[in-house]
Amino acid sequence: MTKRALITGITGQDGSFLAELLHSKGYEVHGLMRRSAVPVDQRLGTLAHFVQVEHAELTDAAALQEIVGRLKPDEIYHLAAQSHVQYSFQAPEVTFDINTTGCMRLLEAVRKSSPESRYYQASSSEMFGEPRETPQRETTPFHPMSPYGVSKLAAFWACVVYREAYGLYTTNGILYNHESERRGEDYVTRKITRAAAAISLGLQETLHLGNLDARRDWGYSPEYVEAMWMMLQQDKPGDFIIATGETHTVREFCEVAFAHVGLDWEKHVVVDPAFFRPIESHLLVGDNTKAREVLGWQPRTSFDQIVRRMVDADLAKLRRANAD
């Protein structure tokens, strides 16, 4: 029988890769998005051929209830969020409303109208903040270092409470940073690859960045959405870390990206206080043992491959745009 999935955050990086994955597996894919002045087809691109659009804001409990009750999806992937950590310092209340109360609204809709649905929550390594151990495991205590981290941690616990109190199938994927050619342009990786491409084409001169010493565990988004699907195929819900187990600094990311287009990053990068955060997670790296052993998941694309693939995609995109 055809399985039905509802993906929130369909217009985001992970939503797009997950929709393609589920479609390739024969799922009926519904995508939740908020209304915008930009036409739906333009926002969805090729996804518009197979994704059935459901319009709602995460701030609208009644709309979420109606959609979940009508579709009764086999699987719900809750990916929508205010996902920018630095912005969460400027907009903590909105971040909490969307990320935490939004999750509670969706969980309530599932509890009341579709308790058989399997629910995936997009939890984050940012919940570890200043980590109590390295690498972090599913048992590592949390200590968030941003309003975003706090909002995701409260949502994480909401999922655990709904699992334990009501027997709902709620799973938390604790995902470390994952990137791709579809990454938003104000996250550091895409900002760097786009700038390296633009500078090499003579379209830009400098790149303003914040903390170059921060270390992140960077993986490839298409592989991380596979892990999301694998999690919901398990007999029992649970919490899983998805990570590569390797870390690199922002500085190393610059080195690889600029070298790929024959440039010396130090001649173009300007350290700018505007991009520093009031506090910061300096070293996030995950232990993916549980995911390897229980899900059979493992990362395949190396750090260098991710960086080069992103630079190549940005070069192609900028060349197309400037040829018009």
x/- contact string, 44-83, with ligand G4F (CB under 6 A)? ---------------------------------------x
Residues 169-198 that bind ligand G4F (CB under 6 A): 176-177, 186-189, 191
Provide the sign of the torsion angle of the four alpha carbons 238, 183, 282, 219, taken in this order. positive
Per CB under 6 A, does 140 bind ligand G4F?
Answer: no
Catalytic site residue from 54, 75, 126, 179: 126
- In sequence order, the β-bridge partners of residue 269 are 207
Residues 267-296 that bind ligand G4F (CB under 6 A): 275, 277, 280, 284
Q: What are phi and psi of 5, to 5 degrees?
A: -120, 145
Which of ligand NAP, ligand G4F, none binds 193 (CB below 5-8 Å, type-dependent)?
none
Q: Report the C-alpha gap between 77 and 19 in whole angstroms.
A: 10
Count residues near ligand G4F (CB under 6 A): 23
Residue with smaller CB distance to ligand G4F, 188 or 261: 188
Q: Report the C-alpha gap between 110 and 266 in whole angstroms.
A: 51
Q: What are phi and psi of 65, to 5 degrees?
A: -60, -45
Tokens of 59: 């701030």
Annotation marks residue 126 as catalytic = yes
Tokens of 88: 């969460």
Which of ligand G4F, ligand NAP, none binds 14 (CB below 5-8 Å, type-dependent)?
ligand NAP
Q: Report the C-alpha gap between 158 and 171 in whole angstroms.
A: 11
Chain centroid to Cα 291, Å, comes to 17
Catalytic site residue from 27, 77, 120, 148: 148
Which of ligand G4F, ligand NAP, none binds 191 (CB below 5-8 Å, type-dependent)?
ligand G4F
x/- contact string, 218-237, with ligand G4F (CB under 6 A)? --------------------
Going along the chain, which residue ranges are E strands? 4-8, 28-33, 52-55, 75-78, 118-124, 169-175, 178-179, 207-209, 215-216, 219-220, 239-242, 248-249, 269-271
Residue with smaller CB distance to ligand G4F, 85 or 158: 85
Which of ligand NAP, ligand G4F, none binds 82 (CB below 5-8 Å, type-dependent)?
ligand NAP
Which of ligand G4F, ligand NAP, none binds 100 (CB below 5-8 Å, type-dependent)?
none
Question: Could you tell me the smallest distance in angstroms from the CB atom of residue 48 to ligand NAP?
Answer: 14
Annotation marks residue 124 as catalytic = yes
Per CB under 6 A, does 307 bind ligand G4F?
Answer: no
Q: Point out which residues bind ligand NAP (CB under 6 A).
A: 9, 11-15, 34, 36, 57-59, 79-83, 98, 122, 124, 175, 177-178, 184
Q: Under 8 Å CB-to-CB from 199, ≥6 apart: which residues?
A: 205, 206, 207, 258, 261, 263, 268
Tokens of 89: 């310092």
Of the candidates 142, 32, 187, 164, which has an alpha carbon nearest to the alpha carbon of residue 98? 32
Which residues are catalytically annotated?
124, 126, 148
Q: Which residues bind ligand G4F (CB under 6 A)?
A: 83, 85-86, 124-126, 176-177, 186-189, 191, 209-211, 214, 216, 250, 275, 277, 280, 284
